[in-house]
Amino acid sequence: MLRAMSVSPDLSRLVAALPDALALPEGRVVHGDDGQPALWVSDGPATAPLWTALRATHATSGLWPLLLDHLGGDTARPWDDGELWPADMSDPGGWDAATLLAGWWADHTRTDDADRLSQPERLAVTAPYGQRWPGPAAPLPVGDDPDLHADECVAFMLADNPKLRLGLVAATRGADSVTTAGWQGPANVENDTAKLSAVLRSWEDRFAARVIGVGYAELYLSVAAPPTDAAAALHVAAEHFAFCPDNVWQGAATDLAGYAGQLVDAPIWSFWWD
């Protein structure tokens, strides 16, 4: 039996213990619908220097910073209204990323009579692999320092959307932050976010990825070791499709090869679940 995610430490205590020099803005601890503390959320916008400072103190503070976006047309969801379920999540350490990706790939490439696409059309979406799972992509060489690269990506995101707020999650690593917070963004595909965190842990190790932002159903990663050629990008794209098929099904690209072209040298990976 898979063990449950351990209960988050006292968020209020951890936030209060942050150095005064950080000048944390006004905010509050948000509890999930299950009553468990989920994360601390700022009342106003985040700033890049503060995010960087909080990221740099993570090892001692135990708090991982996130940029937070909301559901379009409803600024309360999910961070202010507690549309979060931390107690329902399992432990990411109980899952194997390669096994999860293979299972999701099989699910997303399966065809049946209710499918709007014919079998050849469906297989063309994931060509050249079709229904064959290619296995996990090999680790890629790291270019920039992963943490400094994350800082730069956060600054870029805030320049694009200065209204993004700051979240703090009691997590030992960024990959686990979405699970600890009880985030439900991928619920239409997978309702145990710990499984996604298991894959995110693997991407931290293989692609120097860092979780930097979360929306209602969006996830943003900085990537310091992205694929640098078409062949490597295609293999990584297969993992993305298994992890978040809507990136291909409902994205700008119509097939895996087209999507892979967007990943070459991409400094940020973004995911969206319908």
Assigned domain for 241 exists: yes
Distance CA 76, CA 79 (A): 6
pLDDT of 215-255, one tens digit each?
A: 999 999 999 999 999 999 999 999 999 999 999 999 999 89
pLDDT of 27-38, one tens digit each?
A: 999 999 889 999
What are the tokens at 72? Answer: 């379009």
Assigned domain for 128 exists: no
> Residue 143 phi/psi, 5° resolution?
-90, -80
Residue with token string 């710990």 = 194
Rg (CA), the chain: 18
Domain residues for the domain of 200 are: 11-96+136-272
Assigned domain for 208 exists: yes
Q: Looking at residue 111, what is its pLDDT?
A: 80
DSSP state string for 82-97: T---GGG-B-GGGS-H
What value, to the nearest 5°, has the Cα angle with vertex 151 and ends 149 and 157? 105
pLDDT of 254-274, one tens digit each?
A: 899 999 999 999 999 999 999
Q: Determine contact, residues 40/28, Cβ cutoff 8 Å.
A: yes
pLDDT at 206 exceeding the cut of 50? yes
pLDDT at 7 exceeding the cut of 50? no
Tell me whether the omega of the peptide bond preceding residue 186 falls within 30 degrees of 0, making it cis: no
Q: Looking at residue 1, what is its pLDDT?
A: 37
pLDDT of 47-60, one tens digit each?
A: 999 999 999 999 99
What value, to the nearest 5°, has the Cα angle with vertex 24 and ends 197 and 269? 30
Distance CA 182, CA 191 (A): 10
Domain count, the chain: 1
Confidence of residue 96 (pLDDT cuts 50, 70, 90): very high
Q: Looking at residue 3, what is its pLDDT?
A: 47
Could you give the dihedral angle defined by the CA atoms of residues 171, 174, 180 and 185, in that order, rounded to the nearest 10 degrees?
A: 170
Mean pLDDT score of the chain, rounded to an integer? 94
Assigned domain for 179 exists: yes
Q: Determine contact, residues 259/237, Cβ cutoff 8 Å.
A: yes
Q: What share of the chain has pLDDT > 90, as a percent? A: 87
Cβ neighbors of 170 (< 8 A, separation 6 or more) are 8, 9, 11, 14, 37, 62, 63, 64, 180
Could you give the dihedral angle defined by the CA atoms of residues 115, 116, 121 and 125, in that order, rounded to the nearest 10 degrees?
A: -80
Cβ neighbors of 153 (< 8 A, separation 6 or more) are 212, 220, 222, 267, 268
Q: What is the mean pLDDT of residues 160-182?
A: 98
Q: What is the mean pLDDT of residues 8-26?
A: 91
Q: Determine contact, residues 222/212, Cβ cutoff 8 Å.
A: yes
Assigned domain for 105 exists: no
Neighbouring-strand partners of residue 64? 169
Strand runs labelled E in the chain: 27-31, 37-45, 63-68, 165-170, 209-214, 218-223, 268-272
Q: What is the mean pLDDT of residues 141-157?
A: 97
Identity of residue 226: P
Distance CA 216, CA 114 (A): 29
What are the tokens at 127? Answer: 């060509």
Assigned domain for 235 exists: yes
Q: What is the mean pLDDT of residues 209-219?
A: 99
Assigned domain for 6 exists: no
Assigned domain for 104 exists: no
pLDDT at 132 exceeding the cut of 70? yes
Distance CA 184, CA 188 (A): 9
